[in-house]
Amino acid sequence: MTAAAPQAAARRIDLCAADEVPPGTMKMCDVDDEMVLVVNLDGRFHATQGVCSHQYFELDNGFLTGDAVTCALHLSRFELATGDALDPPAELPLAVYPVVVEGGRVLIDVPAGPLEVNR
Ligand code: FES
Protein backbone atom coordinates (compact mmCIF):
# COMPACT_ATOMS: atom_id res chain seq x y z
CA MET A 1 0.00 0.00 0.00
CA THR A 2 1.37 3.42 -0.95
CA ALA A 3 1.07 6.50 1.20
CA ALA A 4 -1.30 9.20 0.00
CA ALA A 5 0.31 12.28 -1.46
CA PRO A 6 0.53 15.06 1.09
CA GLN A 7 -2.33 17.55 0.82
CA ALA A 8 -1.65 21.25 0.55
CA ALA A 9 -2.45 22.93 3.83
CA ALA A 10 -5.98 24.26 3.84
CA ARG A 11 -6.93 27.79 4.60
CA ARG A 12 -10.21 29.11 5.91
CA ILE A 13 -11.45 32.37 4.39
CA ASP A 14 -14.10 34.60 5.97
CA LEU A 15 -16.42 35.84 3.21
CA CYS A 16 -19.20 37.77 4.92
CA ALA A 17 -21.83 37.71 7.64
CA ALA A 18 -24.52 35.10 7.04
CA ASP A 19 -27.25 37.69 7.61
CA GLU A 20 -25.88 39.76 4.73
CA VAL A 21 -27.19 37.01 2.41
CA PRO A 22 -30.86 36.34 3.22
CA PRO A 23 -32.52 33.19 1.82
CA GLY A 24 -33.04 33.42 -1.92
CA THR A 25 -30.30 35.99 -2.46
CA MET A 26 -26.65 36.11 -3.46
CA LYS A 27 -23.73 38.38 -2.72
CA MET A 28 -20.36 38.89 -4.34
CA CYS A 29 -17.30 38.79 -2.08
CA ASP A 30 -13.71 39.62 -2.87
CA VAL A 31 -10.93 37.10 -2.12
CA ASP A 32 -7.34 37.68 -3.27
CA ASP A 33 -8.57 39.89 -6.15
CA GLU A 34 -10.92 37.11 -7.27
CA MET A 35 -14.67 37.22 -6.87
CA VAL A 36 -16.61 34.61 -4.94
CA LEU A 37 -20.38 34.32 -5.19
CA VAL A 38 -22.18 33.42 -1.96
CA VAL A 39 -25.71 32.10 -2.40
CA ASN A 40 -28.28 31.31 0.26
CA LEU A 41 -30.79 28.73 -0.93
CA ASP A 42 -33.34 28.50 1.87
CA GLY A 43 -30.65 28.47 4.54
CA ARG A 44 -28.18 26.31 2.60
CA PHE A 45 -25.13 28.34 1.67
CA HIS A 46 -23.09 27.77 -1.47
CA ALA A 47 -19.95 29.50 -2.71
CA THR A 48 -18.71 29.45 -6.30
CA GLN A 49 -16.37 31.49 -8.43
CA GLY A 50 -18.06 34.84 -9.00
CA VAL A 51 -17.33 35.24 -12.70
CA CYS A 52 -18.89 33.06 -15.39
CA SER A 53 -16.67 30.30 -16.83
CA HIS A 54 -17.79 31.19 -20.36
CA GLN A 55 -16.80 34.85 -20.66
CA TYR A 56 -16.13 37.61 -18.20
CA PHE A 57 -19.50 38.33 -16.61
CA GLU A 58 -20.26 38.75 -12.94
CA LEU A 59 -22.78 36.17 -11.82
CA ASP A 60 -24.43 38.33 -9.16
CA ASN A 61 -25.99 40.15 -12.11
CA GLY A 62 -27.73 36.90 -13.00
CA PHE A 63 -30.57 35.17 -11.20
CA LEU A 64 -31.33 32.14 -9.11
CA THR A 65 -33.44 29.41 -10.71
CA GLY A 66 -34.09 26.45 -8.45
CA ASP A 67 -30.73 25.04 -7.35
CA ALA A 68 -28.84 26.89 -10.07
CA VAL A 69 -27.54 30.35 -10.89
CA THR A 70 -28.22 31.63 -14.38
CA CYS A 71 -25.66 33.86 -16.05
CA ALA A 72 -27.50 36.89 -17.42
CA LEU A 73 -25.20 37.34 -20.43
CA HIS A 74 -25.88 34.13 -22.41
CA LEU A 75 -28.21 32.33 -19.99
CA SER A 76 -26.11 29.29 -19.12
CA ARG A 77 -27.25 27.79 -15.82
CA PHE A 78 -24.79 26.39 -13.29
CA GLU A 79 -25.72 23.92 -10.58
CA LEU A 80 -24.69 25.53 -7.29
CA ALA A 81 -23.78 22.29 -5.49
CA THR A 82 -21.40 21.02 -8.18
CA GLY A 83 -20.70 24.04 -10.38
CA ASP A 84 -21.70 22.00 -13.46
CA ALA A 85 -22.77 23.95 -16.54
CA LEU A 86 -26.30 22.80 -17.34
CA ASP A 87 -26.75 24.66 -20.63
CA PRO A 88 -24.55 25.94 -23.45
CA PRO A 89 -22.73 28.07 -24.32
CA ALA A 90 -20.77 27.55 -21.06
CA GLU A 91 -18.91 24.23 -20.97
CA LEU A 92 -16.57 24.56 -18.01
CA PRO A 93 -18.04 24.15 -14.54
CA LEU A 94 -17.76 26.92 -11.97
CA ALA A 95 -15.24 26.22 -9.22
CA VAL A 96 -17.16 25.54 -6.00
CA TYR A 97 -15.79 26.07 -2.51
CA PRO A 98 -16.90 24.13 0.58
CA VAL A 99 -18.83 26.42 2.93
CA VAL A 100 -18.89 26.41 6.70
CA VAL A 101 -21.17 28.74 8.65
CA GLU A 102 -19.73 29.46 12.07
CA GLY A 103 -20.41 32.25 14.52
CA GLY A 104 -22.75 33.90 12.05
CA ARG A 105 -20.03 34.11 9.39
CA VAL A 106 -19.86 32.41 6.00
CA LEU A 107 -16.44 30.77 5.57
CA ILE A 108 -14.86 28.63 2.88
CA ASP A 109 -12.17 25.99 3.30
CA VAL A 110 -9.82 25.92 0.33
CA PRO A 111 -6.33 24.58 -0.34
CA ALA A 112 -3.40 26.89 0.26
CA GLY A 113 -2.34 28.87 -2.76
CA PRO A 114 -4.33 30.72 -5.39
CA LEU A 115 -8.08 30.29 -5.35
CA GLU A 116 -9.21 27.79 -8.00
CA VAL A 117 -11.15 29.54 -10.80
CA ASN A 118 -12.24 28.03 -14.14
CA ARG A 119 -12.09 30.32 -17.15
S1 FES B 1 -20.81 34.86 -20.11
FE2 FES B 1 -21.99 33.54 -18.88
S3 FES B 1 -22.96 32.22 -20.32
FE4 FES B 1 -21.72 33.55 -21.52
Q: Is 57 in the pocket of ligand 1 (CB under 6 A)?
A: yes
Tell me how far the alpha carbon of residue 75 lies from the centroid of ligand 1, in angstroms.
6
Distances (CA, A) of 69 to 7, 24, 48, 51, 119: 31, 11, 10, 11, 17
User: Domain tally for the chain?
Assistant: 1
Q: What is the pTM of this model?
A: 0.92
Is 6 a residue whose pLDDT tops 70? no
Tell me how far the alpha carbon of residue 55 lies from the centroid of ligand 1, in angstroms.
5
On whether residue 2 sits in a domain, the answer given is no
Q: Whose CA is nearest to atom 4 of ligand 1?
A: 74
pLDDT in tens, 89-106: 999 999 999 999 999 999
Q: 9-38: buried (b, 16+ CB within 10 Å) or exposed (e) per residue?
A: eeeebebbebeebeeeebbbbebeeebbbb
Phi, psi of 45 (to 5 degrees): -95, 140
On whether residue 117 sits in a domain, the answer given is no
On whether residue 90 sits in a domain, the answer given is yes
Q: List the domain range (segments joined by +) for residue 93.
A: 10-111
Q: Is 53 in the pocket of ligand 1 (CB under 6 A)?
A: no
23: CATH: 2.102.10.10
On whether residue 71 sits in a domain, the answer given is yes
Rounded Cα distance between 15 and 108, Å, is 7
Atom of ligand 1 nearest to the CA of 62: 2
pLDDT in tens, 50-69: 999 999 999 999 999 999 99
On whether residue 43 sits in a domain, the answer given is yes
On whether residue 36 sits in a domain, the answer given is yes
